[in-house]
Amino acid sequence: MENCIFCKILRGDFGTEFVYENDYAVVFKDINPKADTHLLVVPRLHVESLNELDDEVLLGKLLITVKEVTKKLGIKSYRTVINTGKEAGQEVFHLHIHILSGNIKF
């Protein structure tokens, strides 16, 4: 999507470093970290929120991506968060999974 910040990141517009990527998603550091480690798992496909995603394979792959990147980084204990909708705190309307670990302020 043209004006979606995460789509722009996916296109490489800001030169954001991906700490992990696979066929389905990229993972990068949250710009405003709420924990020692705060990552965002972002599907390559633009989907506004969990409410708009019916693809069970992609849903599964996104959680597998969480496991892959935490394993790669040696993170054994972490919290995952998905904010769905403005009232729940969703600010970027491109589905993403937060991974938080260490001194979580969330």
Binding site residues, ligand AMP, CB under 6 A: 5, 30-32, 40, 83, 89-92
Cβ at position 21, least distance to ligand AMP in Å: 15
Q: Which amino acid is at 4?
A: C
For residues 53, 54, 56, 59, the Cα torsion angle rounded to the nearest 10 degrees is: 10
Out of 38, 94, 96, 98, pick the active-site residue: 96
Binding site for Zn ion (CB under 5 A): 1, 4, 6-7, 46, 94
What are residue 41's phi and psi, to 5 degrees?
A: -95, 120
Active site residue 96: yes
Q: Which is nearer to ligand AMP, 54 or 87 (CB)?
A: 87
CA distance 102 to 34: 9
